[in-house]
Amino acid sequence: MKRFYTFLASLLLIVSCSDTNSSTYTEADALEFLERIEKEDETLGPIASSAYWIGSNFITYDSQKIVSDFGMRLQLLSLERAREAALFNNSELSDSTRRKLDLIKGSFVMPSPYDSELAKELSNISTELEAMYGTGTHCFEDGECYDLEAFENVIDNSRDTDELLRAWTGWREIGKPMKEKYLRMVEIGNQGAEDLGYSGLLDLWFSKYDMPVEEFQNETERVWQELKPLYDSLQCHVKNKLTEYYGPEIMPGDGTIPAHILGNMWGQSWINIYDLVYEPAGEQSAIDLTAIINERNLDEIEMVEIAENFFLSLGFDELSDTFWDRSLFVKPQDRDVVCHASAWNLDSNEDLRIKMCIEKNSEDFTTIHHELGHIFYYQAYNHLPSVFEGGANDGFHEAVGDLLALSITPDYLERIGFISKEEADAANSDPIALLMQQALDGVVGVPWTLMLDRWRGGVFEGTTSNQELNSSWWDLRKEYQGITSPAQRPLDAFDPGAKYHIPGNTPYTRYYLARIMQYQFHEALCKKIGFQGPLHECSIYNSKIAGESLRDMLSLGQSVPWQDAFEKITGTRSLSGTSMLNYYMPLKEWLDEQNDGLECGWE
């Protein structure tokens, strides 16, 4: 093992001493380099993916040791590749070859410096943080112990404010021991990013969007400002309904909403308090998808099969036997697993899987459609060279899954036999019921997905001090979401650690992009199939025209700039909040009527 580390370190030293400004390297040299990488990926990719799969599904000391070792090895190998790709910086190359080399150089999330010891330390920290989250448990003084699933069950369903606060603060205890490890990881990661030629992690992360970092951040903020009036109207309505239910004494008094009463552990979706904020016009107008799933006695596999059938109706190929044999659908009773839903591309079309502890409810029914969106995206671009096997940008992958959720309309549920035509007609007669349900997730998630990487960016750049880690988190949540902590947070709190994507190092801007792009995709596809009517009633289910347009875009992978792929479906190269505003127009008008005369906004 030591020889392996020494060998890689020597390679890195040789590469780092090379003349990166040399223009003597040719297209043929670059193609030879890329061909070697392709062969290495064919061998190493499936092995490494299997190691990570085991690490997420069998959380033990030994599995984490294996994952840590693989992570360190792959980190060093990727760094070696990046430095070698930089040798061609000044060479005259074709556009395709240049893009491949740029993707190799910018393929990191948390790179280590060119040092085997630091690479090993970084890999160990990353593995430890993810395991701390996956096995996170908090025990109270009365001896009762809860994991995330148990805490979420309280937050999602309880209406007892004392019980909610206990669960909310209890889960955040797991973040405290992560703080120093997280800061050390960022310190090493920033050094690694600088060694790759970036100014730091923030520059590296946002270099993937085919435009200057500052311009991209300005674009995301511009779109948010377009959508903010819609969110503000929703926040005002929800705040006043919760005040009516719980009483004014529980509200902070500054126009914000305390985070523990929003029906979600992180306040990123408010769908679980739907019954508190909207009363359907008639008994039959609201569709209870959770009740339907349980009344039909659907098991977890059948829920996945229904989602697969949606994609088959669009003309996609059916999933292989290995998908059904090797995926994780139900939480095991005999071991710890990372239950966070995810899709896996272990070996191109030969081994595609999802990992998910499916619950028989509406939320997971939608999540399954989302995860299969990733799977069928993999399926569409797995014919490409490995370096191009990815979304046009990281938001595309999320947007494809989210796109399907917009097509889970009453008409779609009728077509698959979940409800009768009468029930579908009743639901369509009260569009606010449907739009409110969707907005409590789709609209609510927009500022949350934007602020999370705004916070992380401050940490990466050092503009947020170590003492301000937690207070800056809540400052941004208040600014963007109008949400505040329900209790004074202790000085050693590290509440960001209670969200998987922080210790798991998953960039979050992708989810923001997905929120925006899914509505642009949906509106464009609905126009292509000739749909006439309110945008929220359109479903692309069973449309081969929509499927062909979607596959044409998906099959490009990341072989072209994301704007090119985006234009394939939408006909435009720019992000816009207009499609989302068009989708929720009836709701916005209704909310403004409800809020008339009320005090809205927050300090």
> Which residues are catalytically annotated?
371, 501
Distance CA 421, CA 411 (A): 8
Pairing, β 342-345 against β 257-258: unpaired
Torsion angle, alpha carbons of 468, 474, 480, 481, to 10? 170
* Number of C-beta neighbours around residue 92 at 10 A: 10
Distance CA 8, CA 36 (A): 17
**Closest CA relative to residue 52, chosen from 264, 422, 344, 303:** 344
Name the CA radius of gyration of the chain, rounded: 24
Q: With beta carbons less than 8 A apart as the criterion, state whether 293 and 358 touch.
A: no
Half-sphere CA count of 277, side-chain side, radius 13 A: 29
Token couple for 252: 């902070």
Q: With beta carbons less than 8 A apart as the criterion, state whether 270 and 263 touch.
A: yes
Distance CA 491, CA 469 (A): 10
DSSP 527-560: HHTT--S-GGG---TT-HHHHHHHHHHHTTTTSS
Q: How far is CA 115 from CA 66, 85, 317, in A?
A: 20, 19, 45
Q: How far is CA 314 from CA 296, 302, 308, 543, in A?
A: 25, 19, 10, 5
DSSP 271-290: GGGHHHH---SSTTTS--HH
H helical segments located in 61-178: 61-86, 95-105, 116-134, 148-157, 161-171
* Backbone torsion region of residue 210, taken as left when φ is above 0, otherwise alpha when ψ lies between -120 and 50, otherwise beta: left
Q: How far is CA 14 from CA 45, 238, 251, 571, in A?
A: 25, 60, 61, 47
